[in-house]
Chains A and B, each alone.
Chain A
Amino acid sequence: MNEPRRLEEFAVAAEAETLIEFRDVGVILGGQPILQGIDLNIRRGEFVCVIGPSGCGKTTALRLLAGLLRPSSGTVLYRGEALSGPRQNIAVVFQDYARALLPWRTAAGNVALALESLGVPAAERGDRARELLAKVGLAAHARRYPAEMSGGMQQRVQIARCLAQNPDVLLMDEPFGALDAMTRQSLQDEVLGIVAATGATVFFVTHDLEEAVYLGDRVIGLRPHPGRIGIEETVPLPRPRDQLTTREDPAFLRLRRALFDFTKSAKA
């Protein structure tokens, strides 16, 4: 399952192609500087995790990439072009799954919403939606309504809806923050599997330092008031990652410590 990912990594390492670029980006909302002087390059196929105390602008950075927000200064480039709005190949998994799904549509119906926006003919939508739900392990629950599903299942529906867009970039805003530890771990591994299979570039916002190290190729730490990059760590851990061995790796522990010290200093 993780084979394509490794090949992808070699390819990426060879060309080191920049997919996303923040150029001196600043955001001011309601007179408050939220982000300031953000310079960041993200390579194609890279898994970037963003951490930082609340109010540091993590979600704002993600909204910039989603095209839901324009920078007040600087530019956000995608494939060398300034992002001007939401794009089909950039998909967002929102933090609050319960409010990001249409409660009047079934799991399949919610996935179909993305297919409808892409102009997939009605006759194909049902099968496509079920296929996508199967990818996140919800094949048997296609006809359930969000209110009938657990938090983990609802978040899986959201992920399936994103996959419908066949995205090159997956933006995830603290997607597992509200889930219990077991569900979170299995979803982490599912996301790694999906990313390995599709070669998608991921921008993953989290407040869980271990999650950031476990998932990422690189971890960016933001400092608040205004949000700016305070730390940047490359994760040298091999893939595929494993919930037990990866988390016991000395490099994992060292990184976790470094990020922990950073967030402590960032909060102060």
Chain B
Amino acid sequence: MSGRRERGGGAAAKAVIVPAALLMLAELAMRLTGFKSDSVAPPSEILVAAFQALHDGSIARATGETLLSAFGGLAIGGLVGLIVGIVLGSVAILDRLFDFSIETIRPIPPIALMPIALMVFGFGARLEIAVVAFAAVWPVLILTRAAIAGIEPQLLEVARALRLGFGARVFKIVVPAILPRLFVALRLATGVAVIVAVTVEITVNPVGLGYAIMIAGQSLRPDLMLALLIWIGLVGWGLNFALQATERSLFGFAMPRARP
């Protein structure tokens, strides 16, 4: 939260000062002391490694593999979460029946499913997609269920009083009412999907950014390892930024504008 007066350039410049200074300091310190390590590299070398990896296409390929699994799992898990969430949100008795089961399955760390998933799917994209899907179900399911149950009953009453048909009720009342929260769910689930995809790659599946980091670390390339680490952060930030921008342009109405 930056002050109101220092918008745009000023605020951005201030946000960059500290990290830039720290990087400069690290660079200088490592250069001056001749520091060598298997786990840390000077910022300049990280930068060089990043450019090389970008140039030879290895980052692009790894990113593609990771995102493919992340989005594939997100699509499957999100869809399941959406459907189950809609059903449980609209039928109170089913919600009570399934509540205990859901609350006991949900806390299982997706990574703990790896041994089973490995037996079922073997190595490869299907394994990764399956584990990501499991992880992506929950944020979508929980938020969809809450969004449906939280639709303003007065609005449904208005729909009845205006004698809106089923289709009009769904598309003019229910969908717009739950959409903002579904978008939050999508944002959360996307973050989870990337995290889980990389985790699966680091632990088991020999593809993607997670595997690339593992290999870089094991082959004593801290520069490349750290470059990939920063890259993963940038990918996550970019996804979130894109989704947030979409969200703002779609649901700007929720925020009352300044009144004259």
Contact = CB atoms under 8 A, between A and B. Distances in A.
Interface of A: 66-68, 85-88, 91-92, 94, 96, 99-100, 102-104, 113-114, 116-117, 145, 147-148, 165
A116 B154 contact: no
A99 B154 contact: yes
Contacts of A147: 253-256
Nearest to A110: B158
**Which DSSP category, helix, strand, loop or mixed, fits chain B's interface?**
helix
Contacts of A94: 154, 157-158
Interface stretch (B75-83, B126-134, B140-148, B159-167): B159-167
A249 to B, nearest CB: 36
A93 to B, nearest CB: 10
B176 interface: yes
A88 B253 contact: no
A148 B257 CA distance: 7
Contacts of B160: 68, 86
B259 interface: yes
30 contacts: A66-B161, A68-B161, A85-B163, A86-B161, A87-B163, A88-B163, A94-B157, A94-B158, A96-B154, A99-B152, A99-B154, A99-B155, A100-B155, A100-B158, A102-B173, A102-B176, A103-B253, A104-B176, A104-B251, A113-B162, A113-B164, A116-B164, A116-B172, A117-B163, A117-B164, A145-B256, A147-B254, A148-B256, A148-B259, A165-B162
**Which DSSP category, helix, strand, loop or mixed, fits chain A's interface?**
loop
A92 B172 contact: no
Contacts of A86: 160-163
B60 interface: no
Q: Taking each of B162, B255, B257, B259, which has the highest tally of chain A beta carbons within 10 Å of its own beta carbon?
A: B162
Interface in B231-260: 251, 253-257, 259
Nearest to B152: A99
Interface in B42-98: none
A85 B177 CA distance: 25
Nearest to A91: B161
B102 interface: no
A113 B161 CA distance: 12
Interface string B164-183: 10001000110011000000
B162 A114 contact: yes
Contacts of A68: 157, 160-161
Contacts of A85: 163
Contacts of B163: 85-88, 117
Nearest to B254: A103
B170 to A, nearest CB: 14
B93 to A, nearest CB: 17
Given A147-B256, A148-B256, A117 B154 contact: no
B154 A100 contact: yes
- Nearest first, the 7 closest Cβ-Cβ pairs linking A and B are A147-B256, A99-B154, A117-B162, A92-B161, A104-B176, A104-B253, A86-B161
A229 to B, nearest CB: 25
A61 to B, nearest CB: 15
Interface in B211-226: none
B153 to A, nearest CB: 8
A148 B255 CA distance: 9
B9 to A, nearest CB: 30
Contacts of A148: 256-257, 259
A117 B168 contact: yes
Contacts of B253: 103-104, 145, 147
Contacts of A104: 176-177, 251, 253-254
